[in-house]
Amino acid sequence: MSPRPFGARLVTAVSERGPLCVGVDPHPALLESWGLAQDVGGLERFALTAVEALAGTVSVIKPQSAFFEAHGSRGVAVLERVIAESRQAGALVLLDVKRGDIGSTMSAYANAYLDDSSPLAADAVTLSPFLGFGSLEPALSLAERTGRGVFVLARTSNPEALPVQTAALDGDGRSIAQAMVDEAAARNSGADPLGSVGLVVGATVGRTGLDFSQVNGPLLAPGIGAQGASGADLRTVFGDQIAHVLPTTSRDVLRHGPGVSEVRSAALRASAAIAASLRV
């Protein structure tokens, strides 16, 4: 039997737990404010406390791989536990790794994050299309076979992205960001209730002129909280496609630690605020 696609699993998770994704980003500054050492022991305590607080509550957990990799192989071992324990507690795991490479190497990345046999396999991963959307094919096809998802960077939340992602394609009036949106739309065509090829579009980017109407896939919106955006910005960015938006925030929830119940309460407050702004 083929596995249930990520898009369908996401729709169920959001209907049961609400639309918020919370990031697990063990920033050195957060470890310090939680009174933890800047070592793999501090990383482990931070990350597993966040999982305990969040994974039974929110629909999606998004560990930021960079902060685990910074601690070497023992940090990656902690990431493996974060993935396994979050999934066990019922959250979907979106691993933020932003991978992208030539096709032959992309196959190895796909095996690392999207194959059932890998200890780093998550429910979905972030991908960078800078080598061309087509170079992501090994990840797109493995994700489809294993019921997983991908989120392709389109119009990211950082200000430096603007000149790159709004540049026009050669011989084509579309921006690079719109081309990514259209590629995702083509992959998701006909999927019901939602395709498994998502896009990353920052909540910070304001009105873009991007046409999301054909995407039929999840729109991950980082930038809420620490980067200055709020739920109220989502309608400006996504217009009438707001129902497919998966807002995500990390530091703005994690800064309430180190107590499990304080982190959980902050996530619940953020989730309620986001749900209200998506309804308005």
Is residue 71 within 8 Å of 43, Cβ to Cβ?
yes
Closer residue to ligand LLZGTKA7, CB minimum distance, 40 or 162: 162
Neighbouring CB atoms inside 10 A of 235's CB total 14
* Phi then psi dihedrals of residue 93, to 5 deg: -115, 120
233 binds ligand LLZGTKA7 (CB under 6 A): no
For the chain, give the number of residues. 280
Is 62 assigned a catalytic role?
A: no
Residues 195-214 that bind ligand LLZGTKA7 (CB under 6 A): 200, 202
> For ligand LLZGTKA7, which residue of 57, 59, 157, 271 counts as binding (CB under 6 A)?
157
Closest separation in Å from C-beta 247 to ligand LLZGTKA7: 10
Sign of the CA dihedral 92, 96, 102, 106?
negative
> For ligand LLZGTKA7, which residue of 5, 23, 231, 258 counts as binding (CB under 6 A)?
23
Residues 213-232 that bind ligand LLZGTKA7 (CB under 6 A): 222-223, 225-227
> Minimal CA–CA distance to 247: which of 87, 23, 30, 26?
23
In terms of DSSP H, where are the helices of 18-57? 28-33, 40-54
Residue with tokens 């938006």: 245
Neighbouring CB atoms inside 10 A of 170's CB total 5
Closest separation in Å from C-beta 131 to ligand LLZGTKA7: 17
Residues 62, 71, 98, 187: which is the catalytic one? 98
DSSP assignments along 189-228, one per residue? TT-SS--SEEEEE-TTS-------TT--S-EEE--BSTTS
**Position of minimal CB gap to ligand LLZGTKA7:** 156
128 binds ligand LLZGTKA7 (CB under 6 A): no
DSSP 3-state of 229: strand
Closest separation in Å from C-beta 136 to ligand LLZGTKA7: 16
How many whole angstroms separate alpha carbon 154 and alpha carbon 175? 10
> For ligand LLZGTKA7, which residue of 135, 188, 249, 277 counts as binding (CB under 6 A)?
249
123 binds ligand LLZGTKA7 (CB under 6 A): no
Closest separation in Å from C-beta 132 to ligand LLZGTKA7: 19
Closest separation in Å from C-beta 162 to ligand LLZGTKA7: 12
Q: What is the largest CA-CA distance in the chain?
A: 55
Question: Which residues of the shown chain bind ligand LLZGTKA7 in the complex (CB under 6 A)?
Answer: 23, 25, 64, 96, 156-157, 200, 202, 222-223, 225-227, 249-252
User: Catalytic amino acids?
Assistant: 98
